Structure 1
């Protein structure tokens, strides 16, 4: 696949890195010579210095041959114009744009991005995506990571095995015997910086991060089995009243009538602005690193501290301070990809990487075959993929015990009609089933092949 990426910042770099590692033909455009030099030096991509919305720059980058353009510069308008130019002058089939300003995304303007006006196939709004991820974490506080598939009927959760985890040292096959009616499958384990697909004889150890695919109504029970019975957060303190902080507070006000929310915002002007927009949220002007301000926010009585500032160090330190002052849990936004490896050791209960959220959203449109959703794990070391089975798929029509799945792939759930099926050896996948599977990065191509339309189909 030939892809043109406009923007060589964190997200653009991350997408280029992922696509280049899969032997795609990638061109990256950015107005910063330093960013382009860095991306040329480290990745197997072509770099072009220039404006991503200028026709001559797009032509140099090979837009006339491109299968897709992904516009993720810092400016919404540049991203939108780049897609328009790619469509009008170069007839690029798939156009993806990152659009931050919520004004463009209002439902009554939704016709703006139609083919007749501004032809953008996929709109990515990082603030909304990350905000929704925060809200899901608050509703399932025992989970380190969450993602939803199959119209929200299937949930993937990352669960940390603590010292008091009841199922430590228990072989996975025994878990199935102990909880036969639990609709959940362990699909991946992160142990000492190594991510792998466990075998049925493997046992979990203290310190493992376990990825579980579960039916939505069985998620809380799965968390409880792993020793996490934390109730949903009702008292929330948010550090940072930017777009994400405001989005989270607005939606908590709408969705949880009993929620008590407080925001700590460093900018006085921004504090006044969000105070006018939020109805039940208390706004405190000050630094989230000021213990006096944290005490004013009643941090000692809070269920969760959510740190959503633009500064990773402020997020980490405010979460650690909040925990020391009596807050039960914390959740931090971490942009730096090297920080998550140390998060748990520093006292961070859960974290969200905005870049990973955005990249996951884009990957589902890059993947070949009938891929409906993708969630990237551990900086791209593995993916959870939802795909639709076709009649020609090698998975269809045979018991799973007879299907020769490559190592590094594990099926977690099958969604048929409105029913979630927990797979076992006797399960037979049918055409049009939606399959949720965990795949190590080197096996993603195998998954794509399983769900591609073959020529014989026609």
Structure 2
């Protein structure tokens, strides 16, 4: 495919690098000459310097011959206008990153499809939804979504008294009461166990389960967490994400406290929304954390515009006694270090946005879905195609899989979830989740190319 990307920020360059690496012809348009030069030096793509809202620049980038436009500049107007021009140029798929609610939702009277946008991605909304998914299952250890958010993968540590304790996997994965929730692996005492049918679950096990989104309520009931609303969640920040998150959590949590470092903004939010306690304060100050009783919160979520402040305030809240803490940070470096220091979750908005765009155009990267903490194991996603070595034969016929070092954990075939056995045959376009050590990911990948 020929693809034009407008915007050479982190999201734009991430998309360009991935798409160019998968036999696509990619051209990037960037307004800032310095950023354009850096992208040209770093990426194996064509780079055009200029405004993505100008027809002359779009023509010079070859938009008239393009199959797809992805507009991810910081300016909504530029992204919308570029899509409108692309529609007139005959480009089939036109994706725009839109931040303002003015253009989307019930208050808006605009038809974005008519304007030229075929797929809309709202970064703040995507981040809020991801955090809500974490908060609705507070002790979740691992999270990943597939199939346009319609399939969930979740990790959870079992405790005494849960309905799952004592159940054999053969009974669980075949019993209609539990279907369609599949347990794809069990981590016990630091070891990932092969999910054989005679394995019984017990307290202390960490299970990794896959399910359709529609079965998530059933999964929560199996964990005895369905009826328990969190008592208190503190959201710290003056960002759009912080405000949207606090508003969204009102229906999920008994008490939502928004701590805003900007006093004027705090007053505006307090006057606009009911059901939220809005306070003014700086949560990098331990006295403020004590005043708001951060230690009594079920969740403390740091969502300011400064990623470093988010890390610091979340770790300080954890030290005060907050049960769970999460921080928003655009930089993924040192994430594992921060987790060892007590951070439960680090949310990267740019990574979420890039993944959402690739998912929306059915080009989700082959790569790690979940890195199992404290283990050298990954659950990795691959997609089979017509030339893949793994299609057309029963899994038991592959020597690589027979070694049990590489395990096919689950198959997504259209809307169907399949728990495979030795007789299972993988088809073209199946999405396959594989459990293997990090060193074996490259070997597993050879089965799908």
- TM tier, smaller: 0.7 to 0.9
Cα deviations by residue, 1:379-413 (Å, 9 ceiling, x for unpaired): 9x9864799x99x9998987554689999783525
Which residue matches 1:243? 240
1:346 is the counterpart of 2:341: yes
Following superposition, the deviation at residue 263 of structure 1 comes to 0.9
1:281 is the counterpart of 2:281: no
1:336 is the counterpart of 2:331: yes
Which residue matches 2:10? 10
Which residue matches 1:78? 78
Following superposition, the deviation at residue 301 of structure 1 comes to 0.8
Cα deviations by residue, 1:343-369 (Å, 9 ceiling, x for unpaired): 21232111211111111111124446x
Following superposition, the deviation at residue 79 of structure 1 comes to 0.4
Counterpart CA distance in 2 for 1:420 and 1:403 is 22
Following superposition, the deviation at residue 233 of structure 1 comes to 3.2
1:104 is the counterpart of 2:126: no
Counterpart CA distance in 2 for 1:130 and 1:59 is 34
Which residue matches 2:291? 296
Aligned residues: 411
1:327 is the counterpart of 2:322: yes
Cα deviations by residue, 1:220-274 (Å, 9 ceiling, x for unpaired): 48879xxx99965331000113221122111221x23x52111111112211111
Which residue matches 1:453? none
Following superposition, the deviation at residue 156 of structure 1 comes to 0.9
1:95 is the counterpart of 2:104: no
Counterpart CA distance in 2 for 1:76 and 1:188 is 45
- Sort the Cα spacing of 1:362 and 1:151 in 2 relative to 1 into closer, same or farther, 3 A: closer
Counterpart CA distance in 2 for 1:404 and 1:3 is 39
SS at match of 2:115: coil
- Sort the Cα spacing of 1:348 and 1:427 in 2 relative to 1 into closer, same or farther, 3 A: same
1:315 is the counterpart of 2:310: yes
- Sort the Cα spacing of 1:445 and 1:261 in 2 relative to 1 into closer, same or farther, 3 A: farther
Following superposition, the deviation at residue 147 of structure 1 comes to 3.5
Cα deviations by residue, 1:18-77 (Å, 9 ceiling, x for unpaired): 222323221111111221122122221121211111112112222122111110000001
Counterpart CA distance in 1 for 2:344 and 2:228 is 15
Following superposition, the deviation at residue 319 of structure 1 comes to 0.7
- Contact residue 145 and residue 350 of structure 1 kept, 8 A: no
Which residue matches 2:358? 363
Cα deviations by residue, 1:76-114 (Å, 9 ceiling, x for unpaired): 0100001111221x3211110000001211236465112
Counterpart CA distance in 1 for 2:277 and 2:305 is 21
Matches within 5 A, 1:222-237: 233-237=230-234
- Contact residue 96 and residue 122 of structure 1 kept, 8 A: yes
User: What RMSD, in angstroms, separates the aligned Cα atoms of the two structures?
Assistant: 4.4
Counterpart CA distance in 2 for 1:32 and 1:210 is 48
Matches within 5 A, 1:250-269: 250-253=247-250, 255-256=251-252, 259-269=254-264
Following superposition, the deviation at residue 323 of structure 1 comes to 0.7
Which residue matches 2:115? 118
Which residue matches 1:129? 126
Counterpart CA distance in 1 for 2:442 and 2:8 is 22
**5+ unaligned residues in a row in structure 2: which ranges?**
161-166, 200-204, 372-377, 436-440
- Sort the Cα spacing of 1:31 and 1:337 in 2 relative to 1 into closer, same or farther, 3 A: same
Following superposition, the deviation at residue 213 of structure 1 comes to 2.4
Which residue matches 2:375? none
Counterpart CA distance in 2 for 1:382 and 1:34 is 39
Which residue matches 1:57? 57
- Sort the Cα spacing of 1:273 and 1:415 in 2 relative to 1 into closer, same or farther, 3 A: farther
SS at match of 2:102: helix
**5+ unaligned residues in a row in structure 1: which ranges?**
167-173, 450-458
